[in-house]
Amino acid sequence: MCLVCAELVDQFWTLDWRPLVEVSGIPELELAELVLLEDVGKLPWTCTDVAMTLLRCPACGAELGTGDLPCLRCRVADEQRWAWDHMGYPDRMTGNEHAMRVARMVLRAPHRQRETIVQGWRLTMPFLLLGELPTTAQAQRIRAHILAERYDELVRCRSLRELAGLPSVPWRKED
């Protein structure tokens, strides 16, 4: 993730974290460990993500949940992270928040995903930060262009509409 996007995303995430740190009166790393022990949904999902960002995996040393795929502790931590989405979405998390959460994790641990997935989130993250969520049709169209190896064309686009509006790939029929 580029530094500008990382800072913008983390500003959103720390809106819930900062007050929690101030109220707790305990060191931030200790608080992060306690946050991960809480029941899903008791604290905002952003706090879970910040806690995982602050903590290192005791097995591989990576940011918790972002280590190489063979790291069992990172795999378990990453799976537990998504329990919030299954329990809280769509009632307590918007579609844009969910998309930003997925994008943030993919871009923080790109080695855990296929390159085409990483490229898709790289392209859409700037728009998610502006509150723009691609429609299903737009996302499918962007994905088709990525799979057709048109990433270099896509990075020049300045809107979701433009990303999804590139001329069709040769093997696709127009609707």
Q: Whole-model pTM?
A: 0.84
State how far the Cα of 134 lies from the Cα of 20, in Å rounded to an integer: 32
Judge contact between 74 and 57, C-beta under 8 A: yes
Instruction: Please list the pLDDT of the chain residue by residue as tens digits (175 residues).
Output: 666 777 778 888 899 999 999 999 999 999 999 999 998 888 888 999 999 999 999 999 999 999 999 999 999 999 988 887 777 555 678 888 889 999 999 998 999 999 999 999 999 998 998 999 999 999 999 999 999 999 999 999 999 999 888 777 555 555 5
Output the six-digit token pair for 83: 């329990």
SS3 56: strand
Delimit the domains of the chain by residue range.
3-113
